[in-house]
Amino acid sequence: MPKMKTKSAAKKRFKVTGTGKVKAEPANCRHLMLNKSASANRKKRSMTVMFKADEEKVLKNWLPHNTKGKKRNAKARKALAFALKKAAAETKAQKGAA
């Protein structure tokens, strides 16, 4: 099976943050900006974080190798779950001994 390639168009349009979120430029900010309010123009200057459902589509289909933060967060979640189980067991043992 051939390797999955990152879409070149997606590379130019999306950025993946360190925590794995996907940021994109807002739409409707290329031309005809004089007809829009100053606050609307200001809001469209910066990249915005995409919704979760759209983010998953982009990462799965167009940016398959950009999994920043996802693996790291999974490891942290596993470590936290293990620590919580261990703490609960210790607490239970202390209550039983007392």
Helix (H) or strand (E) holding 73: helix 70-97
Would you state the pLDDT for residue 71?
63
Would you state the pLDDT for residue 69?
62
| Residue among 18, 19, 14 nearest 54 (CA) | 14
Would you state the pLDDT for residue 72?
63
Q: Would you give per-residue pLDDT tens digits along the chain (98 residues)?
A: 788 889 999 999 999 988 888 999 999 999 999 999 999 999 999 999 999 999 989 988 898 887 776 666 777 888 889 999 999 999 988 887 76
d(CA 11, CA 14): 6
Burial of 49 (0-12, 13-18, 19+ CB in 10 A): exposed
d(CA 51, CA 46): 16
Model confidence, pTM? 0.61
